[in-house]
A and B are shown apart, each in its own frame.
Chain A
């Protein structure tokens, strides 16, 4: 039997991996993937809580919205990354140094 705790642990691990990816990876596309992992961790939480604790549909609806908005955000993010690549010919985050103190 899969319990609530297992879902929460999985989502916690996903969240931690997402944060680690965002900090450690230098490839901008990989960083966007890290954002997706964090969002999915939250969506998983919502569904798990909805099933085991609250017994209402709010969590399911919320996770659907998260999926839709994550797609929109990824589309805009990737479009910006493409612009960045066309201008700088790299997608390495360390090349984004034009704006700083």
Chain B
């Protein structure tokens, strides 16, 4: 008993560090004496703790896949890679929250505490190996996210965002649980490995019933990644929440949801039979519709936050394409996409955050003539936008090219065609924003106060990998390629 606990904890260190960090952050915040001053200690502590968790994650990368806590969670390099992306996203958004005026000064460490807590939920989800841990992970992620969306509590838009998130979240979690309960009844276990064994022995009628249960199961995960029929909450929540929270939502819950969707698809549906072709068909339709709906609705959005919400829906559709092929190359493509998407998202949201703080709105008009006032910031933003659109030689192009080539190799030409069309649509609205920055005349002159030296350095530093991974993608590609091991 004790031996098992010890062995489990030794591979579960990153999560343990994050949980302890959450407690310490709470203590650090309560020891903060001067109201309304900068909490540098909290940021140093949060960064140090998350970096420590990152170090343990990197050490876990080379580990052979092991089950921990009686196989309730599985530690493999695929899940660890996804967790690394989430940890990096959390560090980035915590520092973004430090300078953001969108979060009340007295609540800034609450953002850090909640973000670390949500991260723990995401990590649990990314390594879930039975239905109970999966449900716990999703709910830890969701419940803390509802609070984060409502962080700006005197603001009715933020409250409305949190409420919509909570109501949609409760509904999809309930539907998912209902599906899970039937899967449990049919298979007699909540452990993934035992369900897989029994799934091969199902009769035709049972398979249909099982597929219906899996459809309900998909509702819960689809909601977390904001896939097509469950994406309606996402633009509203993104627009209403404070910007650092929006950036956080665009990275951490999405990566966690994608990780669990990948794990489920590969565990349950990698053998060719009626059920797996039904699941692949479902993912086909979901991927195509998610991309198309996201990109088409993004056209004509004036609020930049809302535009980025729709664009992130489009990107999720693109990443789901990598799951459709159900092989290791697809996972590699998704992980690479995840890393590049992390940097692009951080840059775009950070610049938007500073500008919307300065002008009190996140309309596209605040970007007018940015190149004349802050050339470095405008160039970083344009690089990130071009990369999101998938233009060479930036990393977004490599990521998109990878995914599409994987799909083409499998012979899904229709899906590849839809993806290419979507890239063109995406190009239009990203270019429009870039055009505002370069060719429009600015209504005001002078520096934007939020672009302090520290912020400028951070944004430029974050935009460097976008360019570098577009040219020297070999190393990251190999790292992502090594991280595709599963415990069956």
Residues of A participating in the B interface, judged by any CB pair closer than 8 Å? 11, 15, 18-19, 22, 28, 31-32, 35, 38-39, 41-43, 45-46, 48-49, 53-54, 56, 58-59, 61-62, 65-66, 69, 72-73, 76-77, 80-81, 83-84, 87-88, 96, 98-101
**B139 near A98 (CB under 8 angstroms)?**
no
C-alpha spacing A77/B182, complex, angstroms: 27
Determine if B178 is an interface residue (Cβ-Cβ < 8 Å): yes
In angstroms, how far is the closest chain B Cβ from the Cβ of A33?
A: 11
**B182 near A98 (CB under 8 angstroms)?**
no
Determine if B290 is an interface residue (Cβ-Cβ < 8 Å): no
**A18 near B236 (CB under 8 angstroms)?**
no
**B184 near A49 (CB under 8 angstroms)?**
yes
**B240 near A45 (CB under 8 angstroms)?**
no
Partner of B174, one of A18, A48, A81, A84: A18
- Given A59-B184, A80-B150, A100-B236, are A69 and B139 neighbors across the interface (CB < 8 Å)? yes
**B174 near A77 (CB under 8 angstroms)?**
no
Interface secondary structure of B, over-half rule: helix
C-alpha spacing A22/B168, complex, angstroms: 10
**B136 near A65 (CB under 8 angstroms)?**
yes
Q: 5 interchain pairs (CB within 8 A)?
A: A22-B171, A56-B189, A58-B190, A76-B146, A99-B160
Partner of B170, one of A32, A43, A83: A32
CB contacts (< 8 Å) of A15 on chain B: these are 174, 178
C-alpha spacing A76/B150, complex, angstroms: 10
CB contacts (< 8 Å) of B159 on chain A: these are 80, 83-84, 87
**B150 near A83 (CB under 8 angstroms)?**
yes
**B143 near A76 (CB under 8 angstroms)?**
yes
**A98 near B163 (CB under 8 angstroms)?**
no
Tell me the nearest residue of chain B to A55, going by C-beta.
Answer: B188
**A54 near B177 (CB under 8 angstroms)?**
no
In angstroms, how far is the closest chain A Cβ from the Cβ of B147?
A: 6
C-alpha spacing A65/B132, complex, angstroms: 8
How does the 8 Å CB contact mask read for B13-44 relative to A, with 1 for contact and 0 for none?
Answer: 00000000000000000000000000000000
CB contacts (< 8 Å) of A41 on chain B: these are 174, 178
Partner of A54, one of B163, B170, B185, B301: B185
CB contacts (< 8 Å) of A49 on chain B: these are 181, 184-185
Determine if B239 is an interface residue (Cβ-Cβ < 8 Å): yes
Tell me the nearest residue of chain A to B187, going by C-beta.
Answer: A54
**A99 near B189 (CB under 8 angstroms)?**
no
- Which 6 A-B pairs rank lowest in CB-CB distance, beginning with the nearest? A38-B174, A49-B185, A45-B181, A42-B177, A35-B170, A54-B188
- Given A62-B132, A77-B166, A99-B164, are A54 and B184 neighbors across the interface (CB < 8 Å)? yes
CB contacts (< 8 Å) of A80 on chain B: these are 146, 150, 159, 162-163, 166
In angstroms, how far is the closest chain B Cβ from the Cβ of A14?
A: 10
In angstroms, how far is the closest chain A Cβ from the Cβ of B192?
A: 13
Determine if B425 is an interface residue (Cβ-Cβ < 8 Å): no
- Given A38-B174, A54-B185, A54-B189, are A72 and B163 neighbors across the interface (CB < 8 Å)? no
- Given A42-B174, A72-B143, are A98 and B166 neighbors across the interface (CB < 8 Å)? no
Other A-B contacts than A38-B177, A87-B154, A87-B156, 9 sampled, CB-CB below 8 A, are A28-B163, A35-B170, A61-B132, A62-B181, A73-B169, A76-B146, A83-B150, A101-B235, A101-B301
In angstroms, how far is the closest chain B Cβ from the Cβ of A55?
A: 8
C-alpha spacing A101/B396, complex, angstroms: 28
